[in-house]
Structure 1
């Protein structure tokens, strides 16, 4: 249910009989306010006069006077002259806050309901019930942090399942300091205020939106001057006398109403019906009274026709405040009774042209501005159209059902069709090859229809039509569904979604009618498919590629491009289409418009169109990534930069603007401390007495306890709520960790400036996903798809990596590393420890553990191969990974099966596991740079290595032919042969020395040759001999005489000159150049981004990849002021500082950095002077 806020000034005692009498008469004389449940089927009223809360049943009453529920009344006792805040649930329970006291009453039995953890709250700010009938409460809790105690606002979410008259807390959120709570809506939206900004935070999705209001207000002024009325998609914000309507989806203001005339004409527009109920609660009393004065007569006639007004007195009187507006109705008081008014079906559907009554209303608002109403251009609010399409989804669903169920009985729509609503008539014709639309109007009912405008589009077949409102018509043709909008003077295509409903039309480009039975059946099947897969949701689908390529009209692209709201809604799809179609003109137009919109309004959402398309830019036009990266260096989405003092290590430390912490995991910890806090005095003293003993017992492990407490707090397993009797020794460590120790720790600070990471929605994953399919082939984010040097060469990219690494990356990386260390330890122990020191049973257990852990690691590699085989093969480290896992698994299985210790398998397995262990160091900058060099340099010289390999193979072939022996030789039997290449002739011989000092010509001993005597016996060993020669080892050729073998000498000379001298020195030079190119932090950051992408896709669960806290749409980072000043000067010197983009923003940055003269201007002036000097020299 929603809440009731009532001010109470009356302290007089209440006569219960008076209340009963009033209720029996169905009247409450002084109803202060009305509140309705979230589902709109139960309301409560509060009477200031008798201080009673009365329940009214709405469920069975469609419209008219309500009757109170029997015995559904509650009296507020023991209160003072304070405000009271009330909310009501769907199951008829009320909650109200007054004088820092919270009461929850079940109106069915008038019993009070208790909450757990209420003793923690020192005062309450707000309470409400959401659509899921959960109770949301905001209150202050004392926390201990930073060496002091302070109050912190906490959001408690309770289940309303009553057990022993008690509700259990299911979620806890901690609001940041210096944020004031404005309200909480039934759609789980929190509205906060801080530093001239209003923040909307969705409890369920944890997404937030920031709105700049340019006014500093305290809490009293916020309550007085700010009003909020919202739905799931829109928020209406009243700031003093100004009303602004925001799109929650696009996070932009879509219309601003600055005076009564603008507001009245907005609600008088038939197209804006969907927003009426949001605006009514924010109307000023002047507009409300004037509107009610002239509209009540027509509405009362409606009530009389339905026999809902019983007397002439009721007809003459006008409903008086308080009013409450729900989804499609309003509640108010008429003649002392509570009434339900169906606004959606009556007032909201009334077509009120600017008649005499309306003129009187406008004159009553501001006679000096009356003439301005005639000058109002209806296109002023045309950009609002795109946001209202979703309100027609009910009609669109009905349209599809009608088409599917009735198409067997009818044919393609032919001839002229007319649709009339009010003073507007639509005519639709479908002659051969075209679709003709005409709009007529008439001022008076007796006048003839006057043609206003005509529009003709290409179309073969018209399958259906439906009028969504006076100015919107939906048409279904053979190539999709279209929505046309009439703005008073012309017809424009406002929406188109391509559907292939006629393959013959697409393939043969000729006329095609769906009139025979088989064709109708095929059409119905296709419509059923599109309805189920695309149009069954609550929002219209975004246009697909063919929606732009095969559109009915060529002006739709221009319409989207020129309309800001349409561009924000469909811009990503349109830009993707332009990139794929290589339409550079359209790409530049969209890119420039996005940058202009951001500069004009400091709204980050236009930038998301560019960043969401970065993967396509990376594939087709990488220069746009470089351009965007340089143009968005050091920008912010506010009117000025904020300068603050932060920890000296906070440089490039990223954060979210609104950080609301989900501390739900600490519920068990809170229950434990509440239990300890509730002990009676005797048990408390016993615990205090034994606490020193417990502290002494834990002192030896105090460092471990301190670290454990810190880790638990970091991950919100415990919280920093202060308890007076926290239980045993925990309160001791709690007190010292959060209160005493921080007093003596001084953290040096340094001035920092805040920047925005301009990669909006760059890290977000699609919200629609299938759990099973996500494990097989997960969906990607633009961050995962794009690994570009242009992104990570600036601070923006580095800050993005820092956010991901500090948020989840380093923790998952450590877990993965530990699991591998366990695998390495098990396998190495089994393979290395001598048999006498390890039992067979232990060895088998280590091998089994190695197999299990190896398969676990291997499963992640297999998932990477399935995800993208080509990308996996291109990454050299993946080859090391899979070889390490496969060798260890196979060796362990082989050993267990054969009970045989294979030394060569063990040696290679340990080798690759050790190398894999070394690869884990690549995420640390001091090591990662070298790993990046290894891979990057290898990729750059791979072509050279291929050339070198071919030359080596060629020489090996030549040497093999020249030095290979005749085939009739044997290593075991000596043969006399004249073949100089015979191994027996090359083998060392030992001769006998005769008495006269000469040697015997016949060898006395001949060493038996082997395969290495002549390595050119086999082509494989010939290749190896050439590799040894390449490294400087020429021993394979030393058995031949160079003087007696000139061809050998020539080949040796050519090889040594061409390969060893020339190509190897060239190779060394190429290595030096490649190393210089990649010896920088960019290569390391790219490598780290790849590691993070791997963790995201294959180690995080699908729902974790959708956590807003880990994958926010927008991020910010701190930058050290001194380092920022140096970086700006470096960028200017290198010509990377663009002075044309965001000039005003960069001037403010120079002021914050205390840069007196713009260095960019000085450089431009020097360049200009040099050009002038060159021209003078030529003259």
Structure 2
């Protein structure tokens, strides 16, 4: 192999060259300080600080043993002796960073192409971390402006361009980036995992013990030193100091905790082959208390005996990945197959003679039989939870397929079946009277079988039901019985057998079994249990007693319990979910079982929503800390979600402007002036647009800006921005998965009748919005998308209002006829657009639409202008003035109704609606009484003879309109008056309003308002019945009932929680926007509809709220989470209530008597 060198610095033309064929050791025999392996473990590089060199090694060509040296080269830059980090790709692209503090630089070389230097478009300035992912993409983390750059492996002119850029909020502390594009961050004693592909974030760890630190740098050093993370598709393992937490990806909870200094626990956990590749990398370098322990003797013993490993060697010289272990020996690298290492360790439990381990039988015996084996119960429990997860039947569908096919080919009921695997035997007995399952174990091949555990299930009807069995592993068996497949799991720790899967079906014939297999069980995934499965008590009991099962099937079980009206089961599931959550804050996923079924609970058992609202009030996510916020805004109840901002387009634009600024000054300044000229005429639109861009993270003020568009906005914003400090607490909103929509959808169906979320179905439940959780939920939705879409809807309505009002109001002499027609046509188009959304609401839920008064009002406001415009255009005459007046009236009122979403006005709209709903029955009674009086007056005052308004009718009927009309008599000179009328004012419909029943009703309404003119044409002295009716009406209606109505209105206003009613009103608006104004794919955006929402609260206001809740007996003093909040706020747990003086006097009087 020829000489190979790498050029590091542009100012240095020559590098030291090392002949790799000479007898020198790598790095000239100097110790190796760093080892890095490529993502797929095809190549490896080592770094020696003393020799200031990097050496490449070929890993792929060697299965095990000493690997081959490939390429060494010596670093020449004077700053490169402070190398911080390095990484290498599978195709030998080398990247490393070096420098001091904030002057860190980086370099990248292609070791397969004459070590040519590779440039990156954004440079390596302040690059703190680098790695390659499985796709061969380069990922850089830069600080102090925390940014993630992802570079594609496709190069152009030997220069890599970034494809994605993410900005990390400054409060986060970087941990690491995995090869499968998982970014890990630390915040408020919690660890978050961010998927750079899907942009989904989950919390994988929550530290109960608050970490003490003086500044962020000290905390950063703590995180870097004590936290390590490994992950695969099923589990994530988090190492914090001497603890390893195992987190399940599917269920999103912690399932186990391991003390790495406890050899017994290591034995217990490391025996799982799926966990070994995750645990081994976290155990190196070894802790001092176990590095010479029996555990590592078992793991590494065969290597020492085969001379692959020295008898005594520095165990810190082991670098472990998910596939291999690399050991540094005499300056060279030995590769060890991790799978063989694991098998060697596990074989010790099968063959006690391999290591001359004289008492291994005793250990294994104690493992199953000795209650004095010193392992705590928590370890037993978590180990079995891991066993259940690792025995997941959904992962072994091929075994289930084989079982079905065997039974179909030989459909015969059996009396007894048994299976043996390794040192475990399962026996299934079906006598027809009962079903018995037995598990036997033995210590070695020569020992006898010993019964470990058994269960017996009696049958009510004597019938043989056993069809076949298969073992999934030593501790898990699938049994196919007549009523479906059963999967049982053996808990080795407490020697019990539990049912972990069941699907009910009646397989009474071979044909039925074959048909069900083809329809249901032949698919690559195992079906979830059907509804009939939950009628079986043993299956329900198994779910309730296992955390993992209740997470998988809890939602279906709770739905079953609600629809079956099994209140006891509903209450049991609810209490278990709350208890599991309060055991560990990271178990928020248990709450999603309740929130996902809230629509059904709201319909059948609404008291559980009220209970949930107060049980989960104020779930603290972080301790008190200080922050700065804008004076014009409030941080109290400010919602947020943990997210990283994608700035890919913004970075590319900023980079382009930066290149123009540095290389093409004239073009840059010309463009700058053009931008200023464009901005000036559109300043309001410009500021609004940039506010939205900044809100949604499309631009960011953390980067240096060159252009006028962003520079002007940030400059003006800084001038008018005033900030103040405040102490805040972060709470988690317990409505987990409450706003999320189903993932699977049909685009066309969603436009006609969209699927809904639990939030949409429960908007009218007041209990949700009585706590800060509900209010913060509304704030999040409103701030994220609600207010922007509401402004667009309002603007669209304003266009309709302006067009129609202008056409109907402006006099003909001031408006051109063609312009008027265009306004009317525009009104018709806009009216139909708005009406389309109302029609979609009617199709979605007709009953709910009719019950909402605002919907009917909206339709009238849209339909009347459309009809008026069409008639006007068709007839071209102004003979529809009444229709125009009503159209404008409803449009104007509709405009006013848009203010109901603004809190200042919305509270009053909420009062009007809620109060009207409470007194509607009283208004019905009042209306019936008014109708009754109108009927009485109509009977009394209706004309009894024929009459005509066109011709005078002279008769003695006192109710005749001509006899009630005003008359004018002639007065003679002698003062006498002519008995015959000289002038008669012709009567009209208002002379006697009781000629028909409709006008008599209107007359009563006028009397109700104080206008009695309709009854003033009769003489009360000559009509005593009329006088009596007037007195009765005025006393009963005007005096009594109207004053009673006023009192009822006052009570209703005082009784109703106006703020809660306003929040419900706002929730209805948001639900309407979600369903009918957002596209189906928008409703699936995780940034708009996240699984978990957090919110800030002001510490002082929280203190006041907690004291208020304690005073009102709304605080659970036994709740551990609430106790922690009391301690944080320095509130005494017992609050003395003031004594009611009236009650005290009453007690004293009773004592005297």
Could you state the TM-score of these two structures normalised by the residue count of structure 1?
0.81
Q: How far is 1:487 from its partner?
A: 1.2
Query: Which digits, 9 at most, give the CA deviation of each residue in 1:119-155, with x for residues without a partner?
Result: 4x52212233445665432113xxxxxxxxxx31101
In structure 2, the residue matched to 1:1025 is 1003
Question: Structure 1 residues 833, 852: closer, same or farther in 2, change over 3 A?
Answer: same
In structure 1, the residue matched to 2:694 is 713
Q: How far is 1:1073 from its partner?
A: 1.3
Query: Which digits, 9 at most, give the CA deviation of each residue in 1:886-911, with x for residues without a partner?
Result: 22333334444444553233222222
In structure 1, the residue matched to 2:799 is 822
Q: For residues 56-67 of structure 1, what are the structure 2 equivalents within 5 Å?
A: 57=60
Is 1:948 the counterpart of 2:948 in the alignment? no
In structure 1, the residue matched to 2:1063 is 1085
- Whether the aligned pair in 2 keeps the contact of 1:645 and 1:752 (CA below 8 Å) is no
Give distance in 2, aligned partners of 1:1046 and 1:805. 64
Question: Structure 1 residues 1146, 283: closer, same or farther in 2, change over 3 A?
Answer: closer
Q: How far is 1:156 from its partner?
A: 1.9
Give distance in 2, aligned partners of 1:945 and 1:75. 93
Question: Structure 1 residues 191, 653: closer, same or farther in 2, change over 3 A?
Answer: same
Question: Structure 1 residues 865, 1070: closer, same or farther in 2, change over 3 A?
Answer: same
- Whether the aligned pair in 2 keeps the contact of 1:290 and 1:361 (CA below 8 Å) is no
In structure 2, the residue matched to 1:514 is 509
- Whether the aligned pair in 1 keeps the contact of 2:635 and 2:1098 (CA below 8 Å) is yes
Other structure's SS at 1:267 match: helix
Q: For residues 176-325 of structure 1, what are the structure 2 equivalents within 5 Å?
A: 176-194=169-187, 196-203=189-196, 204-209=198-203, 210-212=205-207, 214-215=210-211, 216=213, 218-258=219-259, 259-267=261-269, 269=271, 272-284=272-284, 285=286, 294=298, 322=318, 324-325=320-321
Question: Structure 1 residues 257, 891: closer, same or farther in 2, change over 3 A?
Answer: same
Q: How far is 1:422 from its partner?
A: 1.0
Q: Which structure has the higher relative contact order (CA within 8 Å, separation 6+)? A: 1
**Structure 2: gaps of 5 or more residues:** 1-7, 9-13
Q: Which of 777, 785, 789 is residue 761 of structure 2 equivalent to?
A: 785
Q: How far is 1:940 from its partner?
A: 0.2
- Whether the aligned pair in 2 keeps the contact of 1:777 and 1:863 (CA below 8 Å) is yes
Q: How far is 1:831 from its partner?
A: 2.4
Give distance in 1, aligned partners of 2:628 and 2:532. 52
Question: Structure 1 residues 409, 610: closer, same or farther in 2, change over 3 A?
Answer: closer
Other structure's SS at 2:1078 match: coil
Q: For residues 85-104 of structure 1, what are the structure 2 equivalents within 5 Å?
A: 85-87=85-87, 95-99=95-99, 100-104=104-108
- Whether the aligned pair in 2 keeps the contact of 1:646 and 1:749 (CA below 8 Å) is yes
Q: For residues 165-180 of structure 1, what are the structure 2 equivalents within 5 Å?
A: 165-180=158-173
Q: Which of 898, 902, 908 is residue 924 of structure 1 equivalent to?
A: 902
Other structure's SS at 1:1163 match: coil
Other structure's SS at 2:700 match: coil
Tell me whether 1061-1070 or 660-669 shows the greater mean CA deviation. Answer: 660-669
In structure 2, the residue matched to 1:549 is 535
Give distance in 1, aligned partners of 2:182 and 2:55. 29
In structure 2, the residue matched to 1:441 is 441
Q: How far is 1:423 from its partner?
A: 1.1
In structure 2, the residue matched to 1:669 is 653
In structure 1, the residue matched to 2:781 is 804
Question: Structure 1 residues 1002, 158: closer, same or farther in 2, change over 3 A?
Answer: farther
In structure 2, the residue matched to 1:892 is 869
Other structure's SS at 2:145 match: strand
Q: How far is 1:261 from its partner?
A: 1.6
Q: Which of 341, 346, 349 is residue 352 of structure 1 equivalent to?
A: 349
Tell me whether 746-755 or 877-886 shows the greater mean CA deviation. Answer: 746-755
Tell me whether 875-884 or 47-56 shows the greater mean CA deviation. Answer: 47-56
Question: Structure 1 residues 497, 180: closer, same or farther in 2, change over 3 A?
Answer: same
Give the length in aligned residue pairs. Answer: 1095
Is 1:1177 the counterpart of 2:1151 in the alignment? yes
Q: For residues 572-651 of structure 1, what are the structure 2 equivalents within 5 Å?
A: 572-575=555-558, 577-580=560-563, 585-586=568-569, 589-594=572-577, 596-597=579-580, 600-603=583-586, 605=588, 606-638=590-622, 640-642=623-625, 649-651=633-635
Q: How far is 1:764 from its partner?
A: 3.7
Question: Structure 1 residues 735, 1005: closer, same or farther in 2, change over 3 A?
Answer: closer
In structure 2, the residue matched to 1:652 is 636
Q: How far is 1:233 from its partner?
A: 3.8
- Whether the aligned pair in 2 keeps the contact of 1:174 and 1:663 (CA below 8 Å) is yes
- Whether the aligned pair in 2 keeps the contact of 1:96 and 1:104 (CA below 8 Å) is yes
Question: Structure 1 residues 1060, 338: closer, same or farther in 2, change over 3 A?
Answer: same
Give distance in 2, aligned partners of 1:91 and 1:836. 82
- Whether the aligned pair in 1 keeps the contact of 2:635 and 2:1097 (CA below 8 Å) is yes
Tell me whether 1064-1073 or 243-252 shows the greater mean CA deviation. Answer: 243-252
Tell me whether 994-1003 or 921-930 shows the greater mean CA deviation. Answer: 994-1003
In structure 2, the residue matched to 1:309 is none
Q: How far is 1:280 from its partner?
A: 1.5
Give distance in 2, aligned partners of 1:865 and 1:876. 13
Give distance in 1, aligned partners of 2:793 and 2:678. 35
In structure 2, the residue matched to 1:452 is 452
In structure 2, the residue matched to 1:1072 is 1050
Other structure's SS at 2:420 match: strand
Is 1:469 the counterpart of 2:473 in the alignment? yes
- Whether the aligned pair in 1 keeps the contact of 2:781 and 2:1070 (CA below 8 Å) is yes
- Whether the aligned pair in 1 keeps the contact of 2:35 and 2:319 (CA below 8 Å) is yes
Give distance in 2, aligned partners of 1:73 and 1:1167. 91
- Whether the aligned pair in 2 keeps the contact of 1:669 and 1:717 (CA below 8 Å) is no
- Whether the aligned pair in 2 keeps the contact of 1:225 and 1:239 (CA below 8 Å) is yes
Q: How far is 1:243 from its partner?
A: 2.1
Give distance in 2, aligned partners of 1:686 and 1:777. 53
Question: Structure 1 residues 553, 201: closer, same or farther in 2, change over 3 A?
Answer: closer
Q: How far is 1:256 from its partner?
A: 1.7
Question: Structure 1 residues 126, 1013: closer, same or farther in 2, change over 3 A?
Answer: same
Give distance in 1, aligned partners of 2:356 and 2:1043. 92
Is 1:125 the counterpart of 2:128 in the alignment? yes
Give distance in 1, aligned partners of 2:174 and 2:1076. 39
Other structure's SS at 2:451 match: strand
Q: Which of 488, 491, 502 is residue 487 of structure 1 equivalent to?
A: 491
In structure 1, the residue matched to 2:21 is 18
Give distance in 2, aligned partners of 1:1065 and 1:180. 66
Give distance in 2, aligned partners of 1:361 and 1:717. 67
Question: Structure 1 residues 559, 736: closer, same or farther in 2, change over 3 A?
Answer: closer
Query: Which digits, 9 at most, give the CA deviation of each residue in 1:209-251, with x for residues without a partner?
Result: 1432644555455444332211244221223333222234555
Other structure's SS at 2:723 match: coil
Give distance in 2, aligned partners of 1:163 and 1:551. 66
Q: How far is 1:919 from its partner?
A: 0.8
Tell me whether 826-835 or 1004-1013 shows the greater mean CA deviation. Answer: 1004-1013
Tell me whether 426-435 or 1067-1076 shows the greater mean CA deviation. Answer: 426-435
In structure 2, the residue matched to 1:139 is 142
Q: How far is 1:444 from its partner?
A: 2.8
Question: Structure 1 residues 974, 129: closer, same or farther in 2, change over 3 A?
Answer: farther
Other structure's SS at 2:620 match: coil
Q: How far is 1:1150 from its partner?
A: 4.0
Question: Structure 1 residues 402, 970: closer, same or farther in 2, change over 3 A?
Answer: farther
Give distance in 1, aligned partners of 2:66 and 2:817. 84
In structure 1, the residue matched to 2:665 is 684
Give distance in 2, aligned partners of 1:351 and 1:1017. 109
- Whether the aligned pair in 1 keeps the contact of 2:543 and 2:553 (CA below 8 Å) is no
Q: How far is 1:943 from its partner?
A: 1.0
Give distance in 1, aligned partners of 2:169 and 2:888. 51
Give distance in 1, aligned partners of 2:372 and 2:353. 13
- Whether the aligned pair in 2 keeps the contact of 1:330 and 1:342 (CA below 8 Å) is no
In structure 2, the residue matched to 1:776 is 752
- Whether the aligned pair in 2 keeps the contact of 1:128 and 1:184 (CA below 8 Å) is yes
Q: How far is 1:931 from its partner?
A: 0.3
Give distance in 1, aligned partners of 2:583 and 2:514. 53
Tell me whether 774-783 or 928-937 shows the greater mean CA deviation. Answer: 774-783
**Structure 1: gaps of 5 or more residues:** 1-7, 141-150, 302-311, 503-511
Other structure's SS at 1:720 match: coil
Q: How far is 1:1172 from its partner?
A: 13
Other structure's SS at 2:147 match: strand
- Whether the aligned pair in 1 keeps the contact of 2:299 and 2:345 (CA below 8 Å) is no
Tell me whether 260-269 or 104-113 shows the greater mean CA deviation. Answer: 104-113
